[in-house]
Chains A and B, each alone.
Chain A
Amino acid sequence: MTEWLFEIFSEEIPSRMQQDAAGQLKTLAEKAFQEEGLVYERIRTFVTPRRLTLVVDGLPLQTIEKIEEKKGPRTDAPPAALEGFLKTNGVKREDCEVRETPKGSFLFVIVKQPGKPIQEILSTLSQSFLEQFRWAKSMRWGSETKTWVRPIRGLLNVFEGHIIPLTYAGVTASNETRGHRFLAPKPFTVQNFKDYEQKLRDHFVILDWQERRNLIEKDIEKVAGDLTPFKDEGLLDEVAGLVEWPIALRGQVDAHFMDLPNEVITTPMRVHQRYFPLVDSKGKLAPYFGFCANTTATDGGKTIVIGNERVLRARLADAKFFWEQDQLKPLEHFNIALKTRLFHQHLGSIADKVERLGKLTSLIASKASIDPINVSRETFLSKADLGSHMVGEFPELQGIMGRYYALNQGETPEVAQAIEEHYWPKVSGGPIPQTVSGVILAMADRLDTLMGFFAIGISPTGSKDPFALRRAGLALIALSLNPHFKLSILEALGWAYDTYPWSELAPPVLKKREEAINDLWQFILERFKFMLKDGQGSPYDHVDAVLGVAHDHPTFADLTSRVKALDQLMGGQDGKNLLAAYKRASNILKIEEEKDKVRYEGTISEGVLQEVEEKTLFANLSVKSPEIQALVQKGDFVKAVQDLATLRPFVDQFFEKVIVNADEEKVRANRLHLLAYLRKTLHQIADFSKLEG
């Protein structure tokens, strides 16, 4: 089988971009082969900090011949036009055929493009991959005008052991590459992929990202000894992109730092130094850390460990200093600093935000159907830690430091917990606050942020969402899913709008109240659809159908269980038949109502019912419809759709046996009323007309 090996060797690629790059190169190759009509066995891509590699197995040696018919000029066209046509296609006059068309007689010719050797194609393709590649951020270097994520320093391009010619950004392709920067810096030649991978390994480079990641995970566990590394997938991913030759080592943390809160110790470790914190068998943070060097040092890593311990010591010394300084004053003292810290240029300072949160949280606390609680203290302190030294240095600790400082100054545990939790959920699907006050504060914070930006005309567009409003929208929905928490988000949007002192802020753009609420509500509903589709696989039309009948102030808990119930119903045959029946019923109604210029929504005269099937349907609807209504009001949608499903045989039989458009007008009208009753009953669950079936 043939094999093409293409490596782009560069200076260090940022770790966070490597996985995407490997994926993109694969997609580019797949697309290109498809366009060229080239078959292949397999495409693989690999990435290390210094190289991006493509391997393709099973390409043909030649492309297939292309045969194309081309239409030329009219037979009576000037000679120059004829000559031009012949020249472009490399044919003679006698190769052409004259054909009569409605527009006159024209020349036609069959042009054969012979198959090209694959080398020629690969040379063009490798060039176009480099041209088409899109990095999140790319750069120029030296006097070159081409761009790449970092300067390209080598191109390895071989097909079946032969070099594929390519020159890009001043670099000419060869059959050479390089291994580890320090352990084996000399270039070496490569025959094929197997040779490449093995020689890289001999030159201290592990090509496969996943293999490096596994190795790091295993070796960090090994150096941890009796201790266990924190589970941190993101950190493992990042480190796998920082090293070509991972060597795990263990360092020690000075005992006198161990009194600091865990998060204060582990944040500089993980975020700044990319170390793995270790815990003992009881889950307690141990005074050690694992980390990964990119080299085998001649002293077994002693110098490297000492150096890294020293760096961590300096960072923790800073942290300890901040911890002590911050607690010289009460937490509320930092609120002063928030007066000059902008939330947004046109939305005031963080202190202004806290003031608005005070109003919003008390509204939410009093209007949500829970025992009214006082959340003023946690609201007042919620953002104070943003002014502390510690959060200034380690922004990841926002909320967490607030909790520690609150506890240490004698606030109640609930207040302290709410301060931390009001940033939750931190990621989509992450844990939501456990305290009621935490939920209220978190909701108020999101409402305020979302409404503020929407009101001044800032909303996410395409891939741009600099203020993370999509995440805030999802968080708001997640927070309001608690079924005991009966709060209408739509109503709360109005409160959020009203708490902004718009005349004082005077933003250059300000939407009217109704417009801002409506735009934001539509945005939140879009997020809701996305969330249900992503989370429980609900199709968009199910959500639309439910939203179509929801009353003005639905809660997301209510909507979610409705959609779930509808998913369940439509997953089975009962749902499909009911939908078919619904469509039939509403079609008939639509036609007849238009014809008669009346709405058939009146009462049904039992005496006028004639056929047994219509009597049975009516009898069942009369029992089930109020039952379903009661269940819907209770929020028991599962039971409600089960009830709905029991109607199916009667509906089916009705349509099978009964002719709606009876000759006698009274009978006909009565049957139309019956169909309207059926429609109304179904609408208690969802607007079935919005369902695709």
Chain B
Amino acid sequence: MKTDFQTVILKLQEFWAQQGCVILQPYDAEVGAGTFHPATTLRALGPKPWKAAYVQPSRRPADGRYGENPNRLYRHHQYQVILKPSPPDVQDIYLESLKYIGLDPSLHDLRFVEDDWESPTLGASGLGWEVWGDGQEVTQFTYFQQVGGFPCEPVCAELTYGLERLVQVLQGIENVYDLDWNGAEGDARMTYGDVAHQMEKEFSAYSFEEVDASMIFRHFEDAEAMSRHLALKKLVLPAYEHCLKASHLFNLLDARGVISVTERANYIGRVRALARQCCELWMENAHD
């Protein structure tokens, strides 16, 4: 079975489309995780059923390692599945998806290990597990209990596959940059490094060395102000997008080490307030 990076993505798309998910595209703004995509954050709220799946490139400026660490990345890829309400056989379906991409449970040790999830910036939390494949965390499996401070009714299941780690297990590869990206031979062969190494190097340099803190602080203020303005105008999606921008700008400042511990809590609180406001607006319309 082919286990190159792009085939795994294609198969997951195929699998979850067969399960009745709408297959979406990544959100086109910088986010730290697939959860931040409005298809998860906002759609998790309200009574309407919702099933979606998508890849989400996720940026974590503090995890940048100039392309030198075999496991840590400025930008990694998540495969995100959201199922509302959570189906009774959601664990079985999930395990089927692993089989579908070649992770055979008769050869591998798959386990659900307690890991409750919380996002202080989104005011969101849930209970679930990290799923281990031979001791490696390959998926975060969460039953959302609340988002933006609102209870999720009904509850949705969120499956977040860490694509790099998952493919590392499938290919038996240690260094993420050595992963087979396209499954081709000879000159046509592309590795993860061929595709992503330059980005890792340059964005690490950007976020650790070149970020102009005062400029980013200013951008943060702007994004926050714009989000508030848009919320007043009841433009929930643009307001939420500016909340995401503020969140990413905060991550940049944090990685740059210019935010003290006390200020940190304060900034997180400011982003959470924006997220909460967007969720509130979303909920106002949720019952239409």
Contact = CB atoms under 8 A, between A and B. Distances in A.
A140 interface: yes
A297 interface: yes
Contacts of B105: 182, 295
A577 interface: no
Interface string B248-270: 00000000000011100000000
Interface in A300-315: 303-304, 306-308, 310-314
A338 to B, nearest CB: 11
Nearest to A138: B127
A321 B72 CA distance: 13
Contact of B262 (A49, A297, A299, A342): A342
A340 B113 contact: no
Contact of A307 (B69, B87, B135): B135
A15 interface: yes
B107 A314 contact: no
Interface in B126-140: 126-127, 129, 133-136
A311 B155 contact: no
B112 interface: yes
A307 B85 contact: no
Contacts of A141: 86, 143, 155, 157
A345 B260 CA distance: 12
Contact of A142 (B86, B145, B174, B260): B86
Contact of A340 (B70, B87, B260): B260
Given A14-B114, A317-B70, A304 B109 contact: yes
A160 to B, nearest CB: 29
B116 interface: yes
A151 B109 contact: no
A295 B135 contact: no
> Chain A: interface secondary structure?
loop
A551 B217 CA distance: 60
B7 interface: no
A139 B260 CA distance: 34
Interface in A340-392: 340-342, 345, 349
Interface residues of A, number: 46
Contacts of B116: 137
Q: Which of B88, B114, B155 has the most CB of A within 10 A?
A: B114
A592 to B, nearest CB: 66
B261 A303 contact: no
A312 B174 CA distance: 11
B107 A150 contact: no
A603 interface: no
Contacts of B260: 340
A304 B70 contact: no
B85 to A, nearest CB: 4
B149 interface: no
Contacts, number: 110
Contacts of A312: 135
Interface in B76-119: 85-88, 91, 95, 105-114, 116
Given A12-B129, A143-B154, A298-B106, A273 B135 contact: yes
Interface residues of B, number: 40
Nearest to B127: A139
Contacts of B135: 273, 291, 307-308, 311-312
Nearest to B174: A310
Given A307-B134, A314-B70, A314-B174, A140 B145 contact: yes
Given A15-B114, A137-B116, A295 B109 contact: yes
A293 interface: yes
Contact of B87 (A14, A142, A243, A304): A142
B127 A307 contact: no
A313 B174 contact: yes
B182 interface: no
B136 to A, nearest CB: 5
A11 interface: yes
A597 B128 CA distance: 74
Interface in B149-203: 153-155, 157, 168-169, 172, 174
A307 B173 CA distance: 10
A303 B107 contact: yes
A11 B142 CA distance: 12
A142 B88 contact: yes
B6 interface: no
A151 B71 contact: no
Given A139-B145, A151-B86, A314-B174, A182 B110 contact: yes
B145 A306 contact: no
A318 interface: yes
Contact of B136 (A150, A299, A307): A307
B261 A341 contact: yes
B148 to A, nearest CB: 17
Contacts of A12: 111-114, 129
A29 interface: no
Interface string A141-185: 111000000110100000000000000001000000000011000
Nearest to A152: B88
A93 interface: no
B261 A340 contact: yes
A291 B153 CA distance: 40
Given A15-B114, A141-B143, A307-B134, A294 B109 contact: yes
Contacts of A298: 106-107
Contacts of B87: 142
Contact of A299 (B91, B107, B114): B107
A242 interface: yes
B71 A294 contact: no
A99 interface: no
A112 interface: no
A182 B109 CA distance: 10
Contacts of B108: 297, 303-304, 307
A576 interface: no
A318 B71 contact: yes
Nearest to A12: B112
A592 B172 CA distance: 92
A584 interface: no
B127 A150 contact: yes
Given A137-B127, A140-B155, A313-B174, A307 B169 contact: yes
B134 A311 contact: yes
A560 to B, nearest CB: 40
12 contacts: A12-B111, A137-B127, A291-B135, A294-B111, A297-B107, A303-B108, A307-B136, A311-B136, A314-B70, A317-B71, A342-B261, A345-B262
Interface of A: 11-12, 14-16, 49, 137, 139-143, 150-151, 153, 170, 181-182, 242-243, 273, 291, 293-295, 297-299, 303-304, 306-308, 310-314, 317-318, 321, 340-342, 345, 349
Given A137-B116, A182-B106, A342-B262, 10 more contacts: A15-B114, A143-B154, A182-B110, A295-B106, A299-B107, A304-B108, A307-B108, A311-B136, A312-B135, A317-B70
List 4 A-B pairs, minimum CB-CB distance, nearest first. A307-B134, A14-B114, A12-B112, A293-B109
